[in-house]
Structure 1
Amino acid sequence: MKTALQELTQYWRLYLLTLVLGIGGSFQYGIQVSIMTSPAEHIQSFVNQTWLGRYEVPVGESTNTLIWSFIMSIFSLGGWAGAVHSGSLPVKHGRKKALLINNVVAIVAAVLMVLSRMAKSFEMILIGRFLYGYNVGLGLSVHLMYVGESSPKKLRGFLTLTCSIFIGLGKLVGQVVGIKELMGTDDMWPYVLAVSGLPAILQFLSLLWFPEAPRYLYIDKGDEDGCKKALQWLWQEDDLKLELEDMRKERESAQGEKAKTVLDVLRSRCVRWQLLALALPCAGVQFCGINALYFYAFDIFRESGIEEDKMRYLSIGIGATELITVTICAFVIDRAGRKKLMGFGYLMMGVVMSVLIVMLTIKDFYPWVPYFNIALIFSVICVYGLGPSGVSMCLPADLFLQAWRPSAYVVSGTINWLSLFLIGMLFPYIVDGLGQFCFLIFVAYCIFSAAFMLYFIPETKGKTMVEITEDFNKLNFKGMGTEIEKGDFVHATKF
């Protein structure tokens, strides 16, 4: 038996690959989500000055608000475009080359951000935000494909979950970089917006030294020798019989099949339950109420008597809490299992937010309530990091065979980015209409998702791709006769 230290030493190249992949789309997603709050007033002032210089009149308030909203929301549209291309670029060019191309997009975006003030063009910021969104949308999906297809099954959950760790780290770095003591000033805001170009350059240079994803080489390209060399280099193992046998079975199950399209994923009965198990959690990352919580956090901080200039440090504390809990999740996911962490995570989020609704209703009656509400916010962040935030990243790699996986990432990315766009556009109106009772919508979604995950979805922990497919086929083909149930599990992908 190998000790933990021996395993750590053995897989150090695989861990290094995971680090290199993480500093791309995942880390940059976290940065882009959190960094825009710091230079917001400086960018709006720049838009006003640019408008005044062009048209010799100040920009109208409604026009300025519209331009700012578009700067914020176009990131989601870019992310959707990147997610859509994650179904074709990694299949045609491979996971590694797709990421190399993707890094060039981020570098171009960073250059546009730096030059925007010099060129007196807020349109360059819009284009840069769209390109950043594209980079993140494609990078997140390919990161997960690459890691999932390069990892042994005993480490698959842990290593795919590092995507969430890097997102949390990116959020924290974005919050820290944007404080006034560092780069959150009127002179530095173009460079703040260009920060994501640095990890893109670093990933581009580092990836050149790593092999292509082994499962892609074997199953998609039929290159068994290339796959074996990649596995030996990454894992430093000579005995790869079990892994190669698992890939052989998966390749045989999809023999003669082309990569599936998004329409195939949406229409085919043989992945119907996998699609449901993917869609609810991916939408839940946005609809579980975490964005509402961040929105309400500053109001609750104010009610607690915290000074305005100190609130940013509390928000950094929230970001650090999410990062710590997602990291803990990475170490327990392969022991606790995806199903329990996600199902009970949604359940606990629903319960704590229900208590928060009550406390927000009586906040003016007792002086201690605002402080209790701060504790509730941190509690929800902890539960979110330990369950839904991290586990949802593992699902496409866990639930779908190779032929289906790229399109599954397109579906999950589309759901995630469109949900983010809808929340960004509609949430202010929901808050105006419902106040703190807006959390009731998220509570209902969390409870429903928890029930669905706990009662219907099989566990994927420690199972091969073919075994997971067999478990889901018992649901996909339920009631169609014992012949199908017993004989066609592996070959169901051909239906």
Structure 2
Amino acid sequence: MSSHGQEKNNREKGQVGILTLMVASAAVGGTVQYGYNLAIMNAPTVYIQNFINETFQERWETQLEMYEITLIWTFIVSIFSLGGLTGALVAGPMSIHFGRKKTLLLNNIFLMSSALLAVTSRQARSFEMIIISRFLVGINAGVSMNVQPMYFGESAPKHLRGAVALSSAVFTSFGVVMGQVVGLRELLGCESCWPYLLASNAVPGFIQLLTLPWFPESPRYLLIDCGDKEACLKALRQLRGCEVQKSELDEMMQEQAEAEGKRAQHPWELFTDRSIRWQLISITVLSSAMQMCGNDSIYFYATYIFQEAGISAEHTQYVTIGTGTCEFTACILCNLLIERQGRRQLLMGGYALMTCWAIVFTLALSFQNATPWMPYLSMVCVFTYILSFGMGPAGVTVIVPTEIFNQTARPAAYMIASSLMWLNLFIIGMVFPFLVNGLGQFCFVPFGAICLLASLYIGVFLPETKGKTLPTITNEFNKLNFHKQERREQKYNQAHYHLGEILHSTAL
């Protein structure tokens, strides 16, 4: 191998090594929390419901009806989504004011407060502490789901940007698996340990607090938001493990020049900015479809399907771990493919496959009792639906705002996208039981329709962003944002701008 080739190979190894450590440090206390805190609530359901009833009896000598206990339990579970929505709304201002890395560190305040309330709730005889705990950990997850992909996307080199940003989804699904394992009856999923199960989310938070301070802030934030070129270069050298590539720095400098004199935009300002109209429509469609596609609902349906297939109730918890492992494996595979296949193909293909499996799942549910093997087809549909989701929508959706919005609009775009995700998660959680009761075996027909519409939108309107700079992606969106005459004027102005930049650099 030539010396140039050897040098390039060493540089790429250095990039991957340091980035991997940074990604693991940020994600272990970041998006891991979203998946983990979704999963750990399944095991202690009966124990917490009994605790609620006992608390009422001790305080007011009142025996609650079953529907009242279920209502309080549903509120405990659902308030996680409302906390996530709150976190999504505060994440933008926090990431602008404190920076990406410091926001992730400060976010652990919500997590530790939540863990403290959860672990002391039984001793204090207060189910209200569990409600507050779930709300606080929801805020933590909402901030992480916003800021972590932004931090990753702004820190990674262009050729690794998709894979690094997509790792947020990998760690989310890893959190689901970890929560399912820790929630086993043999570990913390027993009656005596449920407060410790709810508080166990503090462990990943401690790991992040100990490791993340050793890594730098987002280079783009340092250069464009803070105007600190030296700090940006230092961060880039630390993340790349070598001297900074001139082309990478030039791209950042160009974005800084375009953002000069501009402040970070507020979410409501994006709705009136015609130059990003189709970018905003795209993240609205993708963020809504990600939660409205029914993937989370199929987890709720999984236990029923497994029992119909003849799996005993005591063994269902082990099979359920397979669903989380399935999504985790799919996200890893998606991470390996994203820089080869591109974002658009994985998104469109994922939703198209989910449409097909929703149809097969509906048929399997309709003929559940017709033949002995039909429940096994339903089991296959559960796993393939989750696999299809993990192969595209689960991961690619969260990196799109990083690639199609500039530095001034990116935090606001993430606030809108995450708010829609959390709001739709709450709506689906509340509506799904009624869909099951009203539509029966046809309850996945609406989800299949949403997947089909999402796939069509991506195929027609969403441009590929793999390996492209922000100006190139913006020009492709401008074909939709502006009419032909306006595009000609814009190209003319851009040509003059670039000419001015060339003359300025030549003069220097």
1:289 aligns with 2:272: no
Moved over 4 A (4+): 2-6, 488-492
Aligned pairs for 1:33-432 within 5 A: 33-432=38-437
1:437 aligns with 2:474: no
Once residues 399 and 223 of structure 2 are traced to their aligned partners in structure 1, the CA distance between those partners, rounded to angstroms, is 21
Larger mean CA deviation between 55-64 and 67-76 belongs to: 55-64
Per-residue deviation at 1:283?
A: 1.1
Give CA deviations for 1:442-476 in whole Å, capped at 9, x if unaligned.
11111111011011111000011222112111211
Give CA deviations for 1:3-47 in whole Å, capped at 9, x if unaligned.
767623443122111001111221010011111010111111111
Once residues 357 and 62 of structure 1 are traced to their aligned partners in structure 2, the CA distance between those partners, rounded to angstroms, is 29
Percent identical pairs in the alignment equals: 42
TM-score by length of 1: 0.96
Once residues 93 and 336 of structure 1 are traced to their aligned partners in structure 2, the CA distance between those partners, rounded to angstroms, is 35
CA distance change for structure 1 residues 5 and 228 in 2, over 3 Å: closer, same or farther? closer
CA distance change for structure 1 residues 42 and 5 in 2, over 3 Å: closer, same or farther? farther
1:17 aligns with 2:38: no
For 1:99, the aligned partner's letter is L
Larger mean CA deviation between 284-293 and 142-151 belongs to: 284-293
Which of 442, 465, 472 pairs up with 1:460? 465
C-alpha RMSD over aligned residues: 1.6
- Is the CA contact (8 Å cut-off) linking 2:364 and 2:374 kept in structure 1? yes
Larger mean CA deviation between 283-292 and 38-47 belongs to: 283-292
- Is the CA contact (8 Å cut-off) linking 2:297 and 2:429 kept in structure 1? no
Once residues 14 and 408 of structure 2 are traced to their aligned partners in structure 1, the CA distance between those partners, rounded to angstroms, is 33
Once residues 152 and 410 of structure 2 are traced to their aligned partners in structure 1, the CA distance between those partners, rounded to angstroms, is 13
Give CA deviations for 1:305-343 in whole Å, capped at 9, x if unaligned.
111111111110111111001001001101100000001
Once residues 491 and 276 of structure 1 are traced to their aligned partners in structure 2, the CA distance between those partners, rounded to angstroms, is 30
Once residues 383 and 298 of structure 2 are traced to their aligned partners in structure 1, the CA distance between those partners, rounded to angstroms, is 10
TM-score by length of 2: 0.94
CA distance change for structure 1 residues 263 and 10 in 2, over 3 Å: closer, same or farther? closer
- Is the CA contact (8 Å cut-off) linking 1:253 and 1:491 kept in structure 2? no
1:446 aligns with 2:451: yes
Once residues 60 and 193 of structure 2 are traced to their aligned partners in structure 1, the CA distance between those partners, rounded to angstroms, is 26
Give CA deviations for 1:196-242 in whole Å, capped at 9, x if unaligned.
11111111121221111100000101101100000001101214311
For 1:453, the aligned partner's letter is I
Per-residue deviation at 1:195?
A: 1.1
SS in structure 2 of the partner of residue 86 of structure 1 = helix
CA distance change for structure 1 residues 67 and 4 in 2, over 3 Å: closer, same or farther? farther
Per-residue deviation at 1:117?
A: 0.8
CA distance change for structure 1 residues 239 and 213 in 2, over 3 Å: closer, same or farther? closer
Once residues 403 and 234 of structure 2 are traced to their aligned partners in structure 1, the CA distance between those partners, rounded to angstroms, is 24
Per-residue deviation at 1:488?
A: 5.0
Once residues 330 and 450 of structure 2 are traced to their aligned partners in structure 1, the CA distance between those partners, rounded to angstroms, is 22
Once residues 78 and 25 of structure 1 are traced to their aligned partners in structure 2, the CA distance between those partners, rounded to angstroms, is 15
Specify every segment of 5 or more residues in structure 2 that has no aligned partner in the other structure, as ranges.
498-508
SS in structure 2 of the partner of residue 67 of structure 1 = helix
Specify every segment of 5 or more residues in structure 1 that has no aligned partner in the other structure, as ranges.
none
For 1:324, the aligned partner's letter is T
- Is the CA contact (8 Å cut-off) linking 2:478 and 2:487 kept in structure 1? no
Once residues 136 and 319 of structure 2 are traced to their aligned partners in structure 1, the CA distance between those partners, rounded to angstroms, is 31
- Is the CA contact (8 Å cut-off) linking 1:473 and 1:489 kept in structure 2? no
CA distance change for structure 1 residues 446 and 63 in 2, over 3 Å: closer, same or farther? same
Per-residue deviation at 1:380?
A: 1.2
Give CA deviations for 1:104-144 in whole Å, capped at 9, x if unaligned.
21011101101111111111111110000000000121111
- Is the CA contact (8 Å cut-off) linking 2:14 and 2:241 kept in structure 1? no
Which of 483, 489, 493 pairs up with 1:484? 489
Give CA deviations for 1:407-449 in whole Å, capped at 9, x if unaligned.
0110011000000000011111111000121211111111111
- Is the CA contact (8 Å cut-off) linking 2:87 and 2:140 kept in structure 1? yes
Once residues 333 and 18 of structure 2 are traced to their aligned partners in structure 1, the CA distance between those partners, rounded to angstroms, is 22
For 2:459, the aligned partner's letter is L
CA distance change for structure 1 residues 303 and 63 in 2, over 3 Å: closer, same or farther? closer
SS in structure 2 of the partner of residue 267 of structure 1 = coil
